[in-house]
Amino acid sequence: MTPLAGITVLDLTQNVAGPFCTQILGDLGADVIKVERPGRGDEIRAWAPPWWGRDSAAFLALNRAKRSLALDVKADGARPILARLVERADVLVQSFRPRNPEALGFGAIETRARHPRLVYCSITAFGSRGPMKDEPGYDPMMQAMGGLMSLTGHPDGPPTRVGTSLVDMGTGMWAALAILAALRERDRTGQGCEITTALFDTTLAWIPYQLLGYLGTGQVPGPQGSGAAIIVPYATFPTADGHLMIAAPTDALFRRLCEALERPDLAADARFADNPGRVRHRAALLPELEAVTRRHRSLPLLERLRGAGVTCAPLQRLDEVVADPQTKACEMLTPTPSRDRPDLQTVALPWRWAGDRPASRRPPPSVGEHTTEVLTELGLGPTDVAALLSRGVVAGPAASSS
């Protein structure tokens, strides 16, 4: 299924949030034209090691299903090309610093005035309002400023960032969702719209129940390690040779856990009769459970708990995750071969249509791999393309690879 077939997306983003957004749209069938600087291309190509070939693993993870046009958007002669690209596009996604799009001639107001059917999406750090609206931002800044870092790690431990670009990729996901809704609305009304997403807003969107808890009680939550402030038991537990994640958020699951650990007395204890009680008395309950789990090796205990219907999981490194039979069965690691990287695999979209994953339509491009192809589609002849190449306004793959 390619529901966005026939939709052209002009991708004027780099790093993580914007490329993740446009990769989703490309996987759904859109023709995504990624505009990159001649030479280095997207900054994330050099966010390494690790590398896979000459590009970073980070770039390859976020840029399949796209064509690359190497264009110096600030060069003399670039503006007419940008104008043709915008005229042809259904969706424009940009992540420039504030006011830069206006300086380059494709600000939201003027662009949508010329092209009212265009869906124009800006991916920003802090949005279009407030004292920080003109400031730049990266994922760890948002985790710090937006409170996420205050909830991550262990009590009395150092500040801890979530171990992936959660805010960046979340913003890209929200942007893609908003774009899909805008395209649906355009089908109905014939009009596009302007969309603004923000890394800071996404950070707040990821912690809704913590924010509501504070607003309702005035109590400031802190980090809970592997656990959760609102559920007990719901954390990693030590074993004789490692740890297991055990989640028993309901009273029925707690009783099963106590029976499997041969501690039915804990389930019968009035202090632990329901989850609010277990949360209040966590300091008394958790050591009792840990004293039992420490006596067992991880795998036998995992099998015992699963056999009793208790939700639990091993703590796995990425090599173990890749080798896990569930990972292989779910087909989330999808072959995405290219001429330079025949063994490349990327991480698929996490859903299925009619039982199948969305297919990988195009491997991540080299810088400027499709420059001539795209310019020709815009109506430029060989002489015009050659002139632009010679002036350095655009670049092809040979001239721009590094």
Q: Which residues are designated catalytic? A: 168
Residue 316: partners with Cβ closer than 8 Å, 6 or more residues away: 324
Question: Tokens 């039982």, residue?
Answer: 355
User: Is-cis flag, bond preceding 249, omega within 30?
Assistant: no
Residue 370: name the closest of 396, 349, 352, 398 by CA: 396
Interaxial angle between packed helices 166-189 and 17-27, expressed in degrees from 0 to 180 and rounded to the nearest 10: 50
Longest dimension (CA), the chain: 85
Give CA–CA dist 37/14, Å, rounded.
10
Which residues in 240-372 belong to E strands, given as ranges? 242-247, 311-314, 333-335, 345-347
Take residue 60 and report the two structure tokens written for it: 């390859």
Q: What is the DSSP letter of 365?
A: P
Give CA–CA dist 253/68, Å, rounded.
52
Q: Is 374:368 a contact under the CB 8 Å cutoff? A: no
Give CA–CA dist 122/94, Å, rounded.
5
Residue 19: name the closest of 60, 63, 56, 85 by CA: 63
Q: Is 283:337 a contact under the CB 8 Å cutoff? A: no
Report the residue count for the chain. Answer: 402
Take residue 75 and report the two structure tokens written for it: 């060069």
Beta bridge partners of 56: 51
Q: What is the DSSP letter of 356?
A: B
